[in-house]
Amino acid sequence: MKPVPVFTGFVSASGHLDIDDRPALLGHLKTLAGRNVEMVVKPKRMQRTLNQSAYWWAVPVKMLAEELGYTPSQMHYALLGECFGYQPGPMGQPVPVKPSSSDLSVEEFTHLIDWVLTWAPTELRVTIPAPGETEAA
């Protein structure tokens, strides 16, 4: 199945929608000629920042992976589950509700970082430097 393209734009104070890549939208609409369609317009979600991601992988994930004997990827996955919760996977084993950080909003990633800074000392007795308290932040 071909991925559905996402088009972005800006809504002016008067309610006028300006599409960022109008030619691409028009090209896509031509592929749908003669069909019923649905359209969703919602505020654009700001994804995590590069600084958040760099700090996450260089400080809390690295420190906890080394402390507990996991790979960074294993630690990252486990922390997402601990923070956001688990759900039953296809074979009944728990999987994180949010199995990837790439889709987290800035607010969700901020929550994840704030959470690990209080969770790790309480649950694992590992104090993690906050962003700005280390060169990697």
Q: Is residue 94 part of a domain?
A: yes
In a domain, 62, yes or no: yes
Residue 3 lies in a domain: no
Q: Is residue 100 part of a domain?
A: yes
Q: CA dihedral defined by 12, 108, 118, 96, rounded to 10 degrees?
A: 170
Helices (H), 1-137: 22-31, 50-56, 62-68, 72-84, 106-119
Note whether residue 60 is domain-resident.
yes
By residue range, what is the domain housing residue 75?
A: 50-124
pLDDT recorded at residue 62: 97
What pLDDT, on the 0 to 100 scale, is given for residue 48?
66
pLDDT value at position 137? Answer: 46
Count the domains in the chain. Answer: 1
10-residue mean pLDDT series, the chain (137 residues): 80 91 91 90 70 92 97 96 95 92 86 96 95 67
Three-state secondary-structure class, residue 85: coil
- Beta bridge partners, 77, equal none
Q: Which of 108, 114, 106, 118 has the alpha carbon at shortest distance from 131?
A: 114
